[in-house]
Structure formats: C-alpha cells, structure tokens
Amino acid sequence: MFPYIGGKSSHAKWISPYIPSDISTYVEVFGGAMWLYFQSDKTPVKTNIYNDWNRHLANIFKCSIDTDHHREVLESYICDIGNEDMFNEYRDEIFTIYDGEFHMPDYPLAAKYMLCQLQTFSGNTNFRENSKIYRSPDPKHKFVSYTEKFSKDKFTTKLKQLTVENLDCRDLIHVYDDKDTFFYIDPPYYNMESYYTADAFGHDDHIELLELLKTTKARWALSYYHFDDLEKVLPRDEYLWHEQETFSTNARVSTAKRTELLIMNYRPPSLESLFE
C-alpha cells in the first residue's frame, strides 16, 4: 500500500495465482505494506488478517480501517512535508516509544510515522532513529499519494474488511491455523534482517518458523531467497518450490536480478497443468 523495504508491489502479479480460491481466512504473517492483499483478485475473503510485529505498522493499518477519519488526519499533516524540524521531532517521538505498548488506533502517531517513512530515501529504506529527511524531486509527494488512496474504492473496500494483529509470527500461526486458512509468509530474508526493522529475527527464528510451518493444518506460501538450511528443512521433494527471476526494486542498479523463491505445502489446482 506504500513503498516499504521488501514490499511485494512488483511481485504480486505472479504470486497471486498461487493463492487458493477455496479459503475462508487469508493471513499475511509479516504484513509490511500488504501489497499482495491489495493487488490480488483472490482477496478479500471472509476473514482477512494483517499482522506485523512492528507495532507502528500495525497501528497504521488499525487506523486505516476507518478510512475517512484516517484520511482526514493524514491531510492535516501534509503541511509538514519537507519540514526538517518536524521530521526530526516526529522521528524522535516515534522511537521514544518504539518498543512500547501504546494504544491502538493512534491516528496522529500513524500519520507521523508515515510522514517520516515516506520522507526517507526512496521511501522504502529502513526508517531508523537516526534517519535524515530526504526531499524528493517528484512532482507529487509520496505522502500525498498515500493519503489519496483513502478516497479510492480499490483500497477502502479491502481496508474495511481487515482485522489487525500485532503478534509474534509463531503466536499468530497458532491462533489462526485451520484447514480453511491460507498464510502468506514473507519474513525478513535470511542475513538481510537489519534492512527491515530494528527488531531481531535471527537464524534460530528462521528455523523455528520453518519447523512450525511443517506442522500446520493450513495451506501456506513462503517467500524467500535461498540459504543453505532452507532446503534441509523444506526439501524440494516434499514441498512445491517455484523460482521466479525478479528485479530488485531496492537496488541502485535497476537491472539487478534475483531469484525469488515461493515455497508451498500444497499444489494450486489452477496451476495443475504446470506439473503434468
């Protein structure tokens, strides 16, 4: 829904056909900017879950459910675009309570977070306590474009059908695991975790998540780049591996190629012909 490190805005088109059509609960375990949900024609379903361990991101989507009020609050901060003093003040306020259990929804806090997030370089680098303001030369500022989405049916219809969680990924999976659930899992990529968030998600967390997925009743699709232990835990002869050549949206050179993995514990009926 907005530029964010690791976001799937450019990948949703090829990932979406793999989403099962017979689910009643759709869950994005590492929600981020939730691009797949907004760009897929398979959503919304009966129950739609956004989750992120970053409480500020969870707060943003909690606020976004009341689309009219959130838009009004966002509009009141447009005048602060490009103001370095206000950027620094809002940044410091955000990181003073970064690990706190603040109340949600907090509309002014969500607006301040997005104003800062969308004024870091490219709008998709990691927003940190020492981030500096970046003044974009674009004719329309990203914060204005983000605000305008709350007047568009494409976004508001899906936002109003969200349930927002702020749980550890493992706890969330335990809560929503069911045969009619689909988990889309896009964790911080292995050895790239620091690009996403200040919250630690290390080797043991990756392995624990993978081992948990092996026990679920739900169907799931997991986005990753390759690392050695991945194939040991989820071997290719037991899980469906799809490899997709992609171009990094965060690379300095726009032609930087990567191989994105989508690993699944099911075979999508709509793509059955690919495996014959």
Query: How high is the pLDDT of residue 258?
Result: 79
Ordered per-residue pLDDT tens for the chain, 276 residues: 887 765 566 788 899 999 999 999 999 999 999 999 999 999 999 999 999 999 999 999 999 999 999 999 999 999 999 999 999 999 999 999 887 889 999 999 999 999 999 998 754 456 788 889 988 888 899 999 999 999 999 999 999 999 999 999 999 999 999 999 999 999 987 765 444 455 568 889 999 999 999 999 999 999 998 888 999 999 999 999 999 987 665 544 445 677 899 999 999 866 655 544
137 with 229, same domain? no
189 with 256, same domain? yes
154 with 250, same domain? no
For 209, phi then psi, to 5°, come to -60, -45
152 with 28, same domain? no
Query: How high is the pLDDT of residue 122?
Result: 57
151 with 220, same domain? no
Domain range holding 91?
55-159
Reported pTM: 0.90
44 with 119, same domain? no
Query: How high is the pLDDT of residue 124?
Result: 47
